[in-house]
Amino acid sequence: MAPALTRAAGDADLVVVGAGAGGMTAALVAAHAGLRVVLCESTQQAGGTTATSAGTLWIPGNRHGRVAGHVDSVDDAARYLKLLAGADDARGRRRAFLATGDEAVAWLEANSQVAFTSSGVHPDYLVQPGASYAGRALSPLPYDGRKLGADFVRIRPPIPEFMVLGGMMVGKADIQALLRRWSSTRAFSHSARLVLRYLADRLRYSRGTRLVMGNALVARLFASVRDSGVDVRFGWRLLELMHEGGRVTGAVFDTESGVQRISASRGVVLATGGVGHDVDLRSELLPAHWDIATLACASVVGDGISSARRAGAVLERHPHGNFFWQPVSRVAREGGDVGLFPHLFLDRAKPGLIAVDALGRRFVNEAASYHHFVEGLLANGQRAWLVCDAAFVERYGLGVIPPGTKRLERWIASGYVTVDGSLTALSRRLGIDADGFAATIADTNRDACIGFDVAFRKGEAPLDRFNGDASHGPNPCLGVIAHAPFLALAILPADAASSAGLATDADGRVLDDTGQSLAGLYACGNDAASVMCGTYPGPGTTLGPAIVFGYRVGRHAVRGAAPSPHPTFSA
């Protein structure tokens, strides 16, 4: 129960709850137009789950793709999404996302420190008419954290396993340079610059200040929010929304100084990260027998969704699924903690690895996107292992085991992998069917030799080949598993974000179960139901809409338009 004594914490035009990508974008747009904006973050750091992500945005028809010479169009993307998720809803949210994506990017780059580049070749995740091979994905440019001064500590770091040497961030190009550092002068020079910069950083900072991926996006947004005059308040956790005359007029927060209230003349924006770790919401949205971990930031506990529902908002569910998935392995960390390492692209698509279930059988194309890999895993039960041999690990790595690893004792001792000199003995140690496993290995080695995956056609899709090994033939994703010792790594399903969320309109206004907007209440990011409706079209499926609808929310709050009814929809 909250303390009886409360104090006014001042007035604002707009109160934004949550300092992730969506929330900071909404705050920036509103502040740039002259609104008094208070941004409340429950933790002591900005970024939430955005900070630990790859930072990619899925924005069809974006300007950076065009400049880079990639052919793409919003119409093609609309066709692609219609095939995946069906027709757009009556509120026109998908149309709004597609129509405003490039505009939101242009506004951020013109009015803030946010800057992007085309990710280049980065195929959409499914082979359908309208899918794109290159140009739709955007990546944030690296950022120098030293520019933030003392506020550098306000940027939530990535997970430890995404850093090398104890605190140096690396992007995809950096990884390739580090792996090939002895193969060329260019790779060596790139690697040397990274390491020397990092060593200099550690003389003054707790980690490297060269930020990439989601950390770069968060730092750029936070620097811009700070410069724009937004009143950022850390350690303010949302308790309740304030109402007056049928309108949301502010919010109540739990802070170190007690319970605080902030009134908001233009409304409250909920951007607290979605379902996350909230036990009640998870039990409501997941099948009863599913025990699924989450990669959401620990502070994401459903505050925004729960407070809005108490105010009359409706939770929108999706027939294609209420969550977006990533396969993970459990990693023992210093101090006894256990972390989750997401297997995104570094190992699953490479030749010489398969995933098997308790019967020793493959159940999915291992090179499929992380979301679709887990869909296959969930359809086949939740117990599975990635299997390869030691030669694979030395060349490509496996999970948190880096490429070049020849001695596996550390990883065996920690229980991260199971290793044996015999495939039969390995199957017995795992408790999987030995005959089924032996047959699968035989089929795998046969397919690798002929270059065709009979069961799942691995290596045919553009995404498969993109993440495979182009130097390996005849199929960049198929290789034999034949050289002892052999390894197995337990793989588990986890969600990276929720697709289900608060029903909103095209401007991010939260709706009740009649389709009427709740005056003064907005949602964006994972607090709002995804326009993808549980489908996963390509890289940046969550961050693209978070940025775009954060922009639309801020723009609508600036206009201060009166609420209007919207067509009823099925929740």
- What would the mean pLDDT of 469-482 be, rounded to a whole number? 96
Distance (Å) of CA 101 to CA 59, 77, 492 = 6, 12, 34
- Pair 351, 480 in one domain: yes
- Whether 68 is in a domain gets the answer no
Cis peptide bond N-terminal to 342, omega within 30: no
**The Cα angle at residue 420 between residues 416 and 425, in degrees rounded to 5:** 120
Q: What gap in Å lies between CA 173 and CA 392, rounded to an integer?
A: 21
Q: Which domain holds residue 14?
A: 6-50+217-322+496-559
- Pair 398, 345 in one domain: yes
Question: 3 pLDDT exceeds 80?
Answer: no
- Pair 503, 489 in one domain: no
- Whether 115 is in a domain gets the answer no
CA atoms within 13 A on the CB side of 10: 11
CA atoms within 13 A on the CB side of 254: 10
Which pLDDT score, from 0 to 100, does residue 79 have? Answer: 97
Q: 134 forms bridges with which residues in the sheet?
A: 121
Q: pLDDT digits over 14-61, tens only?
A: 999 999 999 999 999 999 999 999 999 999 999 999 999 999 999 999
Question: 563 pLDDT exceeds 50?
Answer: no
- Whether 526 is in a domain gets the answer yes
Which pLDDT score, from 0 to 100, does residue 251 have? Answer: 98
**Owner of token pair 């007056």:** 244
- Whether 120 is in a domain gets the answer no
- Pair 407, 337 in one domain: yes
Which pLDDT score, from 0 to 100, does residue 238 have? Answer: 98
For the chain, the domain total comes to: 3
- Pair 347, 303 in one domain: no
Which pLDDT score, from 0 to 100, does residue 134 have? Answer: 96
Which pLDDT score, from 0 to 100, does residue 160 have? Answer: 85
Which pLDDT score, from 0 to 100, does residue 196 have? Answer: 85
- What would the mean pLDDT of 325-339 be, rounded to a whole number? 91
**0.85 exceeded by the pTM?**
yes
* End-to-end Cα separation, the chain, in angstroms: 31
- Pair 331, 437 in one domain: yes
- Pair 354, 440 in one domain: yes
CA atoms within 13 A on the CB side of 460: 10
- Pair 514, 428 in one domain: no
- Whether 571 is in a domain gets the answer no
> What's 435's domain CATH number?
3.90.700.10
- Pair 270, 383 in one domain: no
> What's 293's domain CATH number?
3.50.50.60
Which pLDDT score, from 0 to 100, does residue 4 have? Answer: 38
Q: pLDDT digits over 73-95, tens only?
A: 999 999 999 999 999 988 999 99
- Whether 488 is in a domain gets the answer yes
- Give the domain-ending residue among 190, 211, 232: 211
- Whether 158 is in a domain gets the answer yes
Residue 16 CA, distance from chain mean position: 21
Question: 170 pLDDT exceeds 90?
Answer: no
Tell which residue, 479, 455, 480, 477, has the closest CA to residue 467.
Answer: 477
Q: What gap in Å lies between CA 137 and CA 124, rounded to an integer?
A: 9
Question: 568 pLDDT exceeds 50?
Answer: no
- Give the domain-ending residue among 494, 515, 538: 494
Phi, psi values for residue 414, rounded to 5°:
-80, -10
Q: Are strands 247-255 and 237-244 parallel, antiparallel or unpaired?
A: antiparallel
530 near 274, Cβ under 8 Å?
no
- Pair 284, 382 in one domain: no
Q: pLDDT digits over 489-536, tens only?
A: 999 999 999 999 999 999 999 999 999 999 999 999 999 999 999 999
Q: 330 forms bridges with which residues in the sheet?
A: 340
- Pair 555, 428 in one domain: no
- Whether 255 is in a domain gets the answer yes
- Pair 470, 344 in one domain: yes
Confidence of residue 479 (pLDDT cuts 50, 70, 90): very high
Q: pLDDT digits over 92-106, tens only?
A: 999 999 999 999 999
- Give the domain-ending residue among 494, 525, 548: 494
